[in-house]
Amino acid sequence: MSDNKNKSKFITKEILRNSIFEAFKKLNPKYMIKNPVMFVVEIGFLISLMLTFIPDIFGDKGNNLRIYNLIVGVILFITVLFANFAEAVAEGRGKAQAESLKKTRKDTIAKLLDSNGNIETINANKLKKGDVVLVENGDIIPNDGEVIEGIASVDESAITGESAPVMKESGGDFASVTGGTKVVSDWLRVKITATPGKSFLDKMISLVEGASRQKTPNEIALNTLLVSLTLIFLIVIVTLYPMAVYSHVKIQTSTLIALLVCLIPTTIGGLLSAIGIAGMDRVTRFNVIAMSGKAVEACGDVDTMILDKTGTITFGNRLAADFITVGKADTLDLINYAVISSLKDDTPEGKSIVELGTKLGTTVEIEQYKNLNFIEFTAQTRMSGVDLKDGSTIRKGSYDAITKRVKVMNGNIPIDLEKIANKVAKLGGTPLVVCVDNKIYGVIYLKDTVKPGLVERFQRLREIGIKTIMCTGDNPLTAATIAKEAGVDGFIAECKPEDKIKAIKKEQSEGKIVAMTGDGTNDAPALAQADVGLAMNSGTTAAKEAANMVDLDSDPTKILEVVEIGKQLLITRGALTTFSIANDVAKYFAIIPAVFTAAIPQMQVMNVMKLSTPYSAILSALIFNAVIIPLLIPIAMKGVKYKPMKSEALLLKNMLVFGLGGILVPFIGIKIIDLVITPLVRILNLA
């Protein structure tokens, strides 16, 4: 994506320039009618402008009133522009990311393979779903697909921003490749799984630039509320005029328009769309592609989170943590034999055994054991090791496999072996037994380490009422230990793919919103069933198509942050809505006395701000109503700062900060504006 410097900037010069242009472009009534609140403001501007030139239609006469109508019209015009600008800034940030992504979508050449293996060079946009292509070192992968043969390193930095290449191979969960990425070693045969124009990159571009953005259910509900409030206040203003005439109060048409604009929730009306766009933008800048705004919003409502143990809660690589002797065996002998058996073991477990043995002072001379015959681990034997030149054998493996081997060779099983192995299992580790010929020396304690910081993060989720459930294929004993260490609320041991779906459905049947992560084909049904499904970009095409979010960095723990971003979106929308409705109160105290004080002197008691003149009061309220929109754009874009807490406490905090602030800020702002414009009002003889 874009570089980190640009990512960190709130707004660039280019976005600012384009947003100003878009703000004017959005003045088209066909576009404005999609935002009914601001459409009413635009109609008010047109009427005020018309009154400037032909005031007699409504009985508004006099040159001074022409100037007043013009000033009201200009302020309303600026109000609409500011609202359009807020939305344009949000869209501009997304379009800037989209342009960065489009640079990776080049006119790529594809090496199409026929049934005989012959290569035909064609343009990538001519590829069809099901075609097989060859991509070699230095080639750009022409479209999304699945690796059917070969193994190679693929540079995905154009999409993920991550510089480290990713290994791709046929079979398993790392067979999916994305169009626009580059092969940096070896070669792959790829079966195309997407038609031109509908690749993952194309979807990303469309979603990021907002072309596919649809309003979320909560956004639609709030928009409906704003429309209802607008209609109610429109009726109030229409009925106010005959009441004023009956009370012998002369109200200019522009004043009625100003009163309407100040009464309706223009602040949130101008920012609502920007808040929704910015929510998706924040997720995208976190390197997660949300397939819809609804997915982001659903994150904010999540009640239950289902997480895989391996790779999410734990690192997934079992690493050597200790060497435990049995019987009368010597600790150094156990360490040396374990190291020798692991010298040619390239697995993470094997490398960690050598590393731990070196730290603990092994006396093994590595050069002496270079040419030994290494026996690899298999699912059938469940052990590995080496055959020494003197005819003796060293093996390390599961408790069952090693004890069976020793018994066949007429060896004795140490009395304390089973107890030690069970103790390691209870700790959530894996016991790896070491034997030389028919003698058992001890156990290597392999530990699947819980990722640092997860305990605190799970506690944070618990504070906001989200339950966490760990899924693992481990036995119940090991699962319980890991669950306790990680701090999750529950676990499902010996979990199969269908068990995940069952768990999701159970939570959903209780009315809960469920989130989960996955990367394999077997995770696809569960990802589709969950309300929020986060698939790993390194995973299979099936998983990515089933999910409604894709993590470009393939970090399963990111679901924790994504949920908080969703919460932040909902809180931001709620906070600014509270502020918008609350600041109308101050505007009532500015305009109502200004309109009626002349005929009803008792109304002066409502002029708590001691505003200078009726016209300065109306114009001050109208100016504040306009300028508050751009002042709130940074909050709409960045979101209200979110801290995990109970919903009741969060509601109380927002009511105090944004509710009370929404009342106090306009009182201060309107008074300051009144002091500034009063001399101008008097010069224009509007007082």
Question: Cβ-count burial of 361 within 10 angstroms (0-12 exposed, 13-18 middle, 19+ buried)?
Answer: exposed
Question: Cβ-count burial of 244 within 10 angstroms (0-12 exposed, 13-18 middle, 19+ buried)?
Answer: middle
Residue 325 marked ligand-binding: no
Are 199 and 127 in contact by the 8 Å Cβ rule? The answer is: no
Tell me the sheet residues that pair with 434. Answer: 396, 442
Residue 379 marked ligand-binding: yes
Residue 384 marked ligand-binding: yes
Work out the angle at residue 618's Cα, subtended by the Cα atoms of residues 612 and 620, and round it to the nearest 5 degrees: 75
Give 314's Cβ-side CA count (13 Å radius). Answer: 23
Residue 281 marked ligand-binding: no
**How far is residue 600 from each of residues 242, 246, 247, 604, measured CA to CA in Å?**
16, 13, 9, 8
Are 469 and 487 in contact by the 8 Å Cβ rule? The answer is: no
Given the residues 131, 202, 308, 474, the one annotated as active site: 308
Nearest Cα to 125, choosing from 207, 209, 199, 208?
199
Residue 519 marked ligand-binding: yes
Residue 377 marked ligand-binding: yes
Question: Buried b vs exposed e over 498-534: b needs ≥16 C-beta within 10 Å?
Answer: eebbebbeebbeeebbbbbbbbbbbbbbbbbbbbbbb
CB atoms within 10 A of CB 646: 11
Question: Cβ-count burial of 417 within 10 angstroms (0-12 exposed, 13-18 middle, 19+ buried)?
Answer: buried
- For the chain, what is the radius of gyration of the CA atoms? 34
Residue 131 marked ligand-binding: no
**How far is residue 650 from each of residues 304, 478, 552, 583, 647, measured CA to CA in Å?**
19, 37, 31, 20, 5
Give the list of residues 6+ apart from residue 133 with CB closer than 8 angstroms, or none.
110, 111, 112, 113, 127, 142, 145, 189, 190, 192
Residue 345 marked ligand-binding: yes
Residue 396 marked ligand-binding: yes
Alpha-carbon distance 671 to 356, whole Å? 71
Is residue 114 annotated as part of the catalytic site, yes or no? Answer: no
Residue 349 marked ligand-binding: yes
Give the list of residues 6+ apart from residue 269 with CB closer than 8 angstroms, or none.
35, 36, 37, 38, 83, 226, 230, 580
Alpha-carbon distance 42 to 478, whole Å? 65
Q: Which helix (H) or strand (E) holds 7?
A: helix 4-8
Residue 598 marked ligand-binding: no
Annotated binding site for ATP: 345, 349, 377-384, 396
Annotated binding site for Mg(2+): 519, 523
- Catalytic residue numbers? 308
Annotated binding site: 345, 349, 377-384, 396, 519, 523
